[in-house]
Amino acid sequence: MPLLIGTSLKLYFGRERTSTWSRAVIEDCRTHPAVSEGRVEPFIVPSFLSIPEVAALAEGTPVLVGAQDVHWEEGPYTGEVSAPQLRDFGATLVEIGHAERRRLFGETDETAARKVRAVLAAGLVPLLCVGETERGSAAAAALAGITQLAASLRLALEDGLSGRVIVAYEPVWAIGVAEPAPDAHIRAVCTALRIELDRAGFAADSAVIYGGSAGPGLLGRIAPAAQGLFLGRSAHDPRAMRRILDEALELT
């Protein structure tokens, strides 16, 4: 299975920079052997407003385009965006449960579960973020992640939904800092999450990737326990994305 490598642009870029950055990254992905040989599956998660443009740029390439959030219903929900709308405008992935959403907007495992169910029902792929808030042992982190994962998948499983699920392990204490979590910690937690994901019975191309100050130089130290990277601000320079594609080519 290919490694998943991508990033969320959050709200850092305006329209022009999003377009310039996306063109550069998509062109690298179009021509890089790690992608053309099927060793890496790249993804980009822009802001809602840029999804149609980035999806058009990525058309005909292996680059997946995602959304940074979703609402779990359609109808009278002013300011929200539904899973069918995201699908219609070109999104394939939908990020769910990021630590910022939990901290700033009060999202919980219950809201994540509703969103996972809606996304799978719409034929999209949830990119589900899990991770402990406080630094501790790998065993404690694995237990916290498994608990979040099980709670977030509960409604989809109850409804008999299946499909691909991507889990991004992002320890909250490692987001936006100088260094990622220790390599052995990442490998242990990602392995535990993968076992839980397999136990739940989702599609074989489901994956567990690592985020939390992830950048160049990390992939070779944590794969194959981590099946890819959810990159942070290091990816704002397209050359960093290219370096990680080079690393993936050497690894695989």
Active site residues: 98, 170
Pairing, β 40-45 against β 64-67: parallel
Q: Which residue in 251, 241, 243, 181 sits closest to 211, CA to CA?
A: 181
User: What tokens does 113 get?
Assistant: 């579960």
CA 238 to chain centre: 18
* Separation CA 202–CA 2 (nearest Å): 17
Query: Any residues with CB less than 8 A from the CB of 95 and at least 6 apart, and which?
Result: 8, 45, 66, 67, 68, 69, 127, 129, 168
Phi, psi of 208 (to 5 degrees): -120, 125
Does residue 224 have a cis peptide bond before it, meaning omega lies within 30 degrees of 0?
A: yes
